[in-house]
Amino acid sequence: MGEYIYQRLFSLRRRAVARITPVPVEARVDTRWYQMFFVWFSGNMNIVIFSGGASGPAVFGLGVRDSIVVILIVDLVFCALPAILAVFGPKLGTRSMVQSRFSWGYYGAAIPSLLNVFSLQGSLIISCILGGQALASISSHVDVSLGIVIISLISLVLTFCGYRIVHWYESVAWIPNVVAFITMLALGYPQLHENQSASVPPVTPAAVLSFSSVLASSILSWCTITSDYGVYHSPATSSTRIFIYSYLGFLIATFTGSALGAAFAAAAPSVPVWNVGFDNSSSIGGLVFAVLKPAGAFGTFLTAMVALSIPSACIPAMYSVGTSFMTVHPRFAAVPRWVYVLVSEGVLVPVAIIGARTFYVTFVDILNVVGYWIAVFVAIVFVEHILFRRASFTEAAYPVTSWATPSLLPSGIPAMLAFLCGCGALVPFMSQAFYVGPIAHMGTGDIGIYVGFVVAGIVYTVLRGTEKWWGPKLKVRSASGDVRGLHSEFQGDM
């Protein structure tokens, strides 16, 4: 009996670890590269992105034109970051947190892996609140809390269906949202046109920069999981093709959704019905239903479909919660992924219900906090890939087979020190409900993510370059007391 239990536990552990093991080339055979467009197009063509654009007028007091200009600039630049990281999936077969070991080291990668779990939970909370609001707006029998439960359960069920079903779902989930947004534009165009000449307060640099940080943080939040959804796709196509598919998926969806959100949020105060639905800038779902309500039953149906398509944003986050947890420590990898998904669900529902009471405070705080550390993380990974791996995906650049061997991976010390420096440098530039840094207090707005990105990139370049130069010498000297034979004796990818 004891032997059976041991074998059973060993089998479960082996299957669990397989969830984060790099996918070998012979198993990466999916040639439907167009899915790299749809998975990110669907994940962003929804009211989550709509709410991000709406924060420009609703939270930062920007007019529609100013908001759209900021949205366009931020999207053109920042959508490239998750799109570049999406290339790593097909080319290396590694999930994002496993790939991070090639810059953070075996033990150091536990830091972004654990932070990613909390970030993904934050994204889930935002998405489920929005879906709950939309469902509550169309029925007096459904309040926001029940709506949150419904959306979270649908996301849970679809996540359990696995990788291939997720890709199929993402290939069609965008359709009701596109129909709803086109209908909203058709019904609301007269009011939107009239609002173009509405007077708005003078634009301040602080408002522009803070709004851009919220938008950038929303996009950056995808950077830690985009690689996960290409690990079974063939590496046969060019990196450029994968990048373009992913970039267009992000760019078209985020700009369209954000611009519409900004336009309708800016016009809402001057349209009484919309303003009631918007509920003092706290209910995006109510605003969507208020705009669609003139379409009658069709408008109600579209609002319901918009709500029920929210899982397109939830599923990738919920799916990656497990793999991120499993990368933290080998003992965590022994736990089946579905256990982490259930834990995520258990945390998600009560926290989302509480956060729904002050939606935009919750929305801005979560996104910015997520953006802070991910900006630092991305800077480190990009510097490693571009400067020290020569932007190459060859076996010489990334010896993927060493992913679980600490001695064959970087030490992670430069990444951890750069992370501390980047996070420390951004603190004075933070502007949150719970803390306003001294520099942000002077009127700069929240520019923490930009400062953290730059500082972390510079520090990592210096420290990693030093490690690359001195690491092999120190290793050989400690082993033999002689620096001769440096290149032949040095083992591993420092």
Q: What is the pLDDT of residues 127-163, one digit of tens each?
A: 888 888 889 888 878 888 899 999 999 988 888 887 7
Confidence at residue 487, expressed as pLDDT on a 0 to 100 scale: 35
Confidence at residue 473, expressed as pLDDT on a 0 to 100 scale: 55
Single-letter code of the amino acid located at 332:
F
Mean pLDDT, residues 321-334 taken together: 86
Confidence at residue 387, expressed as pLDDT on a 0 to 100 scale: 94
> Of residues 492 and 295, which shows the higher confidence score?
295
Confidence at residue 386, expressed as pLDDT on a 0 to 100 scale: 95
Specify the DSSP class assigned to residue 294: G
Taking the whole predicted model, whether its pTM rises above 0.95 is answered as no
pLDDT band at 367 (very low <50, low <70, confident <90, very high): confident
Domain 2-389 sits in CATH 3.30.70.1230 = no
Quick one: what percent of the chain has pLDDT higher than 90? 50
Query: Tens digits of per-residue pLDDT, 176-228?
Result: 999 999 999 999 988 888 876 666 677 888 889 999 999 999 999 999 999 99
Q: At what angle are helices 35-44 and 239-267 packed, to 10 degrees?
A: 20
Query: Residue 72: is its pLDDT beyond 90?
Result: yes
Q: Please say whether the beta carbons of 213 and 448 come within 8 A.
A: yes
Q: Which residues make Cβ contacts (< 8 Å) with residue 219, sequence separation at least 6? A: 74, 75, 78, 79, 81, 82, 250, 254
Single-letter code of the amino acid located at 289:
F
Query: Tens digits of per-residue pLDDT, 380-395?
Result: 999 999 999 999 999 9
Q: At what angle are helices 297-308 and 144-160 packed, to 10 degrees?
A: 50
d(CA 203, CA 213): 16
Query: Tens digits of per-residue pLDDT, 30-60?
Result: 898 888 999 999 989 988 899 989 999 988 8
Q: Tell me which long-range contacts 469-477 makes (C-beta under 8 A, separation of at least 24).
A: 471/411
Query: Tens digits of per-residue pLDDT, 441-459?
Result: 887 888 899 999 999 999 9
pLDDT band at 8 (very low <50, low <70, confident <90, very high): very low
Confidence at residue 5, expressed as pLDDT on a 0 to 100 scale: 42
Q: What distances in angstroms separate CA 151 from CA 123, 129, 225, 312, one per listed residue?
A: 13, 9, 21, 11
Confidence at residue 199, expressed as pLDDT on a 0 to 100 scale: 63
Confidence at residue 475, expressed as pLDDT on a 0 to 100 scale: 53
SS3 of the chain: helix, strand, coil, percent, to 5: 75, 0, 20
